[in-house]
């Protein structure tokens, strides 16, 4: 992956023939193979998506006064009302360590260790 700070192209982004230009948070310009995100559609991911969709529907059904109340309270936290609504109403699904793929202590993918 090529990295450079460029005076000529401080804001170049996009893709070209399977390569992708990216600007990192520290201002370094990267040129690398275009990344294609995976979509595993795991049970956990689908639970989270379903809950997020429910929150969107609930937020959209709130009255303007209720939304304004969230916006007012959220402004003190430098958030939007929507962000505060999600923070207060999102319930993280419970998962087991097996779903996370956590290895047992003392055992690595390469064998014992």
**pLDDT tens-digit profile of 42-92?**
888 898 999 999 999 999 999 999 999 999 999 999 999 999 999 999 987
Q: Is the pTM of this model over 0.85?
A: no
Write the CA distances from 108 to 89, 90, 95, 101, 103, integer angstroms: 38, 34, 22, 12, 7
> Does residue 20 surpass a pLDDT of 70?
yes
Name the nearest CA neighbour of 55 among 92, 89, 84.
Answer: 89
What gap in Å lies between CA 3 and CA 23, rounded to an integer? 9
What gap in Å lies between CA 42 and CA 48, rounded to an integer? 10
> Does residue 102 surpass a pLDDT of 70?
no
Identify which has the larger pLDDT, 57 or 111: 57
Please report the pLDDT score of residue 21 as a whole number: 80
């Amino acid at each position: 992956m090529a990295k450079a700070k460029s005076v000529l192209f401080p804001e170049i982004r996009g893709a070209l023939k399977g390569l992708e230009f990216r600007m990192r948070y520290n201002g370094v310009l990267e040129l690398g193979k275009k990344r294609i995100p995976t979509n595993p559609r795991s049970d956990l991911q689908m639970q989270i998506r379903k809950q997020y969709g429910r929150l969107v529907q609930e937020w959209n059904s709130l009255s303007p006064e209720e939304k304004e109340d969230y916006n007012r309270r959220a402004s003190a936290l430098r958030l939007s009302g929507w962000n505060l609504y999600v923070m207060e109403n999102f319930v993280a699904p419970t998962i087991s360590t097996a779903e996370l793929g956590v290895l047992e202590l003392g055992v690595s993918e390469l064998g014992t260790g």
